[in-house]
Protein backbone atom coordinates (compact mmCIF):
# COMPACT_ATOMS: atom_id res chain seq x y z
CA UNK A 1 0.00 0.00 0.00
CA UNK A 2 1.54 3.33 -1.06
CA UNK A 3 1.29 6.61 0.85
CA UNK A 4 -1.60 7.92 -1.26
CA UNK A 5 -3.68 4.85 -0.49
CA UNK A 6 -2.78 5.06 3.18
CA UNK A 7 -3.77 8.74 3.25
CA UNK A 8 -7.12 7.93 1.60
CA UNK A 9 -7.77 5.18 4.15
CA UNK A 10 -6.88 7.39 7.12
CA UNK A 11 -9.07 10.28 5.92
CA UNK A 12 -11.96 7.90 5.15
CA UNK A 13 -11.66 6.28 8.60
CA UNK A 14 -11.73 9.62 10.40
CA UNK A 15 -14.69 10.89 8.36
CA UNK A 16 -16.58 7.63 8.99
CA UNK A 17 -16.03 7.85 12.75
CA UNK A 18 -17.18 11.49 12.79
CA UNK A 19 -20.29 10.81 10.69
CA UNK A 20 -21.36 7.81 12.77
CA UNK A 21 -20.65 9.62 16.04
CA UNK A 22 -22.53 12.77 15.13
CA UNK A 23 -25.41 10.92 13.48
CA UNK A 24 -26.00 8.80 16.59
CA UNK A 25 -25.76 11.84 18.85
CA UNK A 26 -28.24 13.76 16.67
CA UNK A 27 -30.67 10.82 16.65
CA UNK A 28 -30.51 10.29 20.41
CA UNK A 29 -30.72 13.98 21.33
CA UNK A 30 -33.72 14.66 19.08
CA UNK A 31 -35.52 11.38 19.82
CA UNK A 32 -35.34 10.90 23.59
CA UNK A 33 -35.62 12.95 26.78
CA UNK A 34 -32.77 12.73 29.26
CA UNK A 35 -32.45 9.19 30.66
CA UNK A 36 -34.62 7.94 27.80
CA UNK A 37 -33.64 5.23 25.37
CA UNK A 38 -34.18 1.54 24.69
CA UNK A 39 -32.67 -1.90 25.12
CA UNK A 40 -30.71 -3.06 22.10
CA UNK A 41 -32.16 -6.36 20.85
CA UNK A 42 -34.14 -6.48 24.09
CA UNK A 43 -31.00 -7.05 26.16
CA UNK A 44 -30.78 -5.58 29.66
CA UNK A 45 -26.99 -5.28 29.43
CA UNK A 46 -26.88 -3.43 26.09
CA UNK A 47 -28.78 -0.16 26.11
CA UNK A 48 -29.12 3.22 24.49
CA UNK A 49 -29.55 5.62 27.42
CA UNK A 50 -29.36 9.34 26.72
CA UNK A 51 -27.33 11.46 29.10
CA UNK A 52 -25.17 14.56 28.79
CA UNK A 53 -21.67 15.24 30.04
CA UNK A 54 -21.51 18.82 31.32
CA UNK A 55 -17.76 19.01 31.73
CA UNK A 56 -14.72 16.78 31.50
CA UNK A 57 -14.52 13.01 31.51
CA UNK A 58 -16.73 11.10 33.98
CA UNK A 59 -18.89 14.21 34.52
CA UNK A 60 -16.24 16.32 36.24
CA UNK A 61 -16.73 20.06 35.87
CA UNK A 62 -14.22 22.88 35.69
CA UNK A 63 -15.08 26.27 37.15
CA UNK A 64 -18.44 27.14 35.55
CA UNK A 65 -18.69 28.99 32.23
CA UNK A 66 -15.11 30.27 32.31
CA UNK A 67 -13.91 26.77 32.98
CA UNK A 68 -15.92 25.42 30.04
CA UNK A 69 -14.39 28.00 27.71
CA UNK A 70 -10.89 27.12 28.91
CA UNK A 71 -11.71 23.45 28.49
CA UNK A 72 -12.97 24.15 24.96
CA UNK A 73 -9.78 26.00 24.05
CA UNK A 74 -7.69 23.16 25.46
CA UNK A 75 -9.70 20.60 23.48
CA UNK A 76 -9.21 22.56 20.25
CA UNK A 77 -5.46 22.79 20.83
CA UNK A 78 -5.24 19.12 21.74
CA UNK A 79 -7.36 18.07 18.77
CA UNK A 80 -5.28 20.21 16.40
CA UNK A 81 -2.10 18.70 17.80
CA UNK A 82 -3.43 15.18 17.34
CA UNK A 83 -4.54 15.93 13.79
CA UNK A 84 -1.12 17.35 12.93
CA UNK A 85 0.73 14.46 14.52
CA UNK A 86 -1.45 11.88 12.75
CA UNK A 87 -0.61 13.18 9.28
CA UNK A 88 3.00 13.92 10.26
CA UNK A 89 3.37 10.29 11.34
CA UNK A 90 1.90 9.13 8.03
CA UNK A 91 4.25 11.40 6.07
CA UNK A 92 7.23 10.09 8.03
CA UNK A 93 6.14 6.54 7.17
CA UNK A 94 5.72 5.41 10.76
CA UNK A 95 4.08 2.08 11.46
CA UNK A 96 0.67 2.14 9.83
CA UNK A 97 -0.89 0.47 12.88
CA UNK A 98 0.28 3.47 14.89
CA UNK A 99 -1.14 5.94 12.37
CA UNK A 100 -4.50 4.14 12.36
CA UNK A 101 -4.55 4.27 16.16
CA UNK A 102 -3.81 8.01 16.07
CA UNK A 103 -6.57 8.50 13.49
CA UNK A 104 -9.12 6.79 15.75
CA UNK A 105 -8.03 8.84 18.76
CA UNK A 106 -8.06 12.08 16.74
CA UNK A 107 -11.47 11.45 15.18
CA UNK A 108 -12.93 10.65 18.60
CA UNK A 109 -11.46 13.79 20.12
CA UNK A 110 -12.84 15.94 17.29
CA UNK A 111 -16.26 14.31 17.68
CA UNK A 112 -16.49 15.42 21.31
CA UNK A 113 -15.02 18.84 20.49
CA UNK A 114 -17.93 19.42 18.08
CA UNK A 115 -20.41 18.81 20.91
CA UNK A 116 -18.72 21.18 23.30
CA UNK A 117 -18.30 23.97 20.77
CA UNK A 118 -21.56 23.91 18.81
CA UNK A 119 -24.34 21.95 20.54
CA UNK A 120 -25.20 24.83 22.87
CA UNK A 121 -26.30 26.95 19.91
CA UNK A 122 -27.61 24.19 17.64
CA UNK A 123 -30.08 22.47 19.98
CA UNK A 124 -32.77 23.43 22.47
CA UNK A 125 -32.44 22.11 25.99
CA UNK A 126 -32.99 18.43 26.73
CA UNK A 127 -34.99 17.63 29.87
CA UNK A 128 -36.37 14.51 31.49
CA UNK A 129 -39.70 15.29 29.84
CA UNK A 130 -38.96 16.91 26.47
CA UNK A 131 -36.63 16.10 23.60
CA UNK A 132 -34.31 18.64 22.03
CA UNK A 133 -35.08 20.52 18.83
CA UNK A 134 -32.43 21.13 16.20
CA UNK A 135 -31.96 24.79 15.24
CA UNK A 136 -34.85 26.09 17.42
CA UNK A 137 -36.39 29.42 16.49
CA UNK A 138 -35.70 30.81 19.98
CA UNK A 139 -32.04 29.82 19.87
CA UNK A 140 -30.06 27.07 21.55
CA UNK A 141 -29.88 26.14 25.21
CA UNK A 142 -26.59 27.95 25.73
CA UNK A 143 -23.77 29.68 23.86
CA UNK A 144 -20.82 28.79 21.68
CA UNK A 145 -18.20 26.85 23.70
CA UNK A 146 -20.83 25.83 26.29
CA UNK A 147 -22.32 22.71 24.70
CA UNK A 148 -22.79 19.42 26.51
CA UNK A 149 -21.30 16.19 25.20
CA UNK A 150 -23.97 13.62 24.33
CA UNK A 151 -23.48 10.10 25.71
CA UNK A 152 -25.73 7.12 25.09
CA UNK A 153 -23.94 3.73 25.02
CA UNK A 154 -24.64 1.84 28.23
CA UNK A 155 -23.48 -1.72 28.89
CA UNK A 156 -24.17 -2.76 32.50
CA UNK A 157 -22.92 -6.27 31.80
CA UNK A 158 -23.25 -7.36 35.44
CA UNK A 159 -25.95 -6.03 37.76
CA UNK A 160 -26.26 -7.76 41.10
CA UNK A 161 -26.01 -7.17 44.85
CA UNK A 162 -23.02 -7.63 47.09
CA UNK A 163 -23.37 -10.58 49.51
CA UNK A 164 -24.92 -9.53 52.80
CA UNK A 165 -21.90 -10.80 54.74
CA UNK A 166 -19.46 -8.39 53.07
CA UNK A 167 -18.45 -5.45 55.29
CA UNK A 168 -19.41 -1.90 54.25
CA UNK A 169 -21.09 -2.87 50.93
CA UNK A 170 -23.14 -5.93 51.94
CA UNK A 171 -26.53 -5.94 50.23
CA UNK A 172 -25.80 -2.88 48.09
CA UNK A 173 -26.29 -2.80 44.34
CA UNK A 174 -23.21 -3.54 42.22
CA UNK A 175 -22.97 -2.77 38.51
CA UNK A 176 -20.01 -3.68 36.34
CA UNK A 177 -19.35 -1.12 33.59
CA UNK A 178 -21.76 1.50 34.87
CA UNK A 179 -20.40 4.25 32.62
CA UNK A 180 -22.33 5.79 29.73
CA UNK A 181 -20.21 6.82 26.75
CA UNK A 182 -20.45 7.61 23.03
CA UNK A 183 -18.90 6.44 19.76
CA UNK A 184 -16.21 9.13 19.97
CA UNK A 185 -15.15 7.78 23.39
CA UNK A 186 -15.17 4.26 21.97
CA UNK A 187 -12.99 5.33 19.04
CA UNK A 188 -10.47 6.92 21.43
CA UNK A 189 -10.44 3.82 23.63
CA UNK A 190 -9.91 1.46 20.69
CA UNK A 191 -7.07 3.66 19.43
CA UNK A 192 -5.32 3.65 22.79
CA UNK A 193 -5.77 -0.11 23.24
CA UNK A 194 -4.52 -0.70 19.71
CA UNK A 195 -1.32 1.20 20.44
CA UNK A 196 -0.78 -0.84 23.60
CA UNK A 197 -1.70 -4.25 22.17
CA UNK A 198 0.03 -4.00 18.81
CA UNK A 199 3.08 -2.26 20.19
CA UNK A 200 2.94 0.32 17.44
CA UNK A 201 6.18 1.92 18.60
CA UNK A 202 8.09 -1.33 18.25
CA UNK A 203 9.68 -2.57 15.02
CA UNK A 204 8.68 -6.08 16.03
CA UNK A 205 5.12 -5.41 14.96
CA UNK A 206 3.86 -4.75 11.46
CA UNK A 207 0.47 -4.21 9.87
Read off the pLDDT band of 58 (50, 70, 90). Answer: very low
Q: What ranges in the chain are assigned the alpha helix state H?
A: 3-31, 64-91, 96-122, 183-198
Whole-number average pLDDT of the chain: 88
Quick one: pLDDT at residue 55? 61
- Convert the pLDDT of each residue in 97-132 to its tens digit: 899 999 999 999 999 999 999 999 999 999 999 999
Tell me what pLDDT residue 199 has: 66
* Cα distance between residue 85 and residue 140, in whole Å: 34
Q: What angle do CA 80, 82, 83 make, to 5 degrees?
A: 65
Model confidence over 7-19: pLDDT tens digits? 999 999 999 999 9
β pairing state of 180-181 and 173-176: unpaired
Give the residue, 200 or 147, on which the prediction is more confident: 147
What is residue 47's DSSP assignment? E
Catalytic site residue 93?
no
Q: At 93, is the pLDDT very low, low, confident or very high (cuts 50, 70, 90)?
A: very high
Give the pLDDT mean for 158-186. 84
Residue 35 annotated among the catalytic residues of the structure: no
pTM for the predicted model, two decimal places? 0.87
Return the pLDDT at 59.
Answer: 46
Beta-strand pair 173-176/37-39: unpaired
Average pLDDT over residues 47-56: 86
* pLDDT score for 99: 95
Amino acid sequence: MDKRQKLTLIVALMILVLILDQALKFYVKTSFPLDGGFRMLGLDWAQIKFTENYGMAFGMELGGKTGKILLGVFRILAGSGLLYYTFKSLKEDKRFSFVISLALITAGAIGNIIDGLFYGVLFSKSTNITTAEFMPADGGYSTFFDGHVVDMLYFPIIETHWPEWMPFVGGELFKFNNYIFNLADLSITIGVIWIIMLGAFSKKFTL
